[in-house]
Chain A
């Protein structure tokens, strides 16, 4: 998606850096249970992905 924000930028919109957003998120936002993958599920999927790559043609 690529929205044209020319008018908004002209009206004063600025963008915050990714670094600042990450820093603020780590400082102020608590991870929510149920959002994203659990450690176990992520490990399981990564293991399956590695296994699939091993069997894939070069």
Chain B
């Protein structure tokens, strides 16, 4: 498969490229060349900028494109429209944050967050609402040729936040471990490589409710796995 990845040098995109190369796909990366520029030396790199410099994409075709770096509708629209007739399939990695209400379990048909000012491009402030608008752009451009994935907390080797990675390593260090929140609340995550496999399998949205553990259960099993089971759970 000839695969175009918009992004592809950090976290999920990086895992996706590694998996694609492993299975023999012919991969092209479209990047600014700023993040991990020495990665994937034998992979075609198309230099440009999603925000205003898409020239390197023109005149090319691919079997599929994966967009792991779309946060602003205007920017996503530019590449989605440019590639509409250049790729057979377009996968957009969105987020579970698109849902307007996460206080209870979201459903795929649930309402998504909206912006009072649809011109806003403040992704830090309006991450979920902007992702929802990006989804709409992709669906408008590709229809049935689009796959929109709404992962929850993604974890993996190159997670730039370290928010999951901290815990296994902390338990491995041993001693009494301080953990936050209600120990009976459920926790969910999806591993980046896992998401890549299921996303590529087509159509599924891996959010993983099956066998979801409580925070206490996860900690106990994490602790026993690393040889440091928690003894108590501080509560505030």
A7 to B218, CA, bound (A): 25
- Residue with the highest number of chain B CB atoms closer than 10 Å, among A3, A21, A26, A49: A3
| Given A1-B102, A42-B178, also A8-B205 (CB < 8 A) | yes
User: Is A40's CB within 8 Å of the partner chain B?
Assistant: no
Q: B102 — which chain A residues lie within 8 A by C-beta?
A: 1
Please count how many residues in chain B sit with their CB below 8 Å of the partner chain's CB atoms: 53
A3 to B104, CA, bound (A): 8
Q: Mark A1-29, 1 if CB is under 8 A from B, else 0.
A: 11111011101110110110111111011
Taken together as a complex, chains A and B put the C-alpha atoms of A7 and B225 apart, in Å, by 31
Beta-carbon contact of B105 and A29 below 8 Å: no
| A32 with B201, Cβ < 8 A, contacts A2-B105, A46-B178 known | no
Q: How many whole Å from B17's CB to the nearest CB in chain A?
A: 16
Residue B86 CB within 8 A of the other chain: no
Instruction: List residues of chain A with CB under 8 Å of any chain B CB.
Output: 1-5, 7-9, 11-13, 15-16, 18-19, 21-26, 28-32, 34-37, 42, 45-46, 49
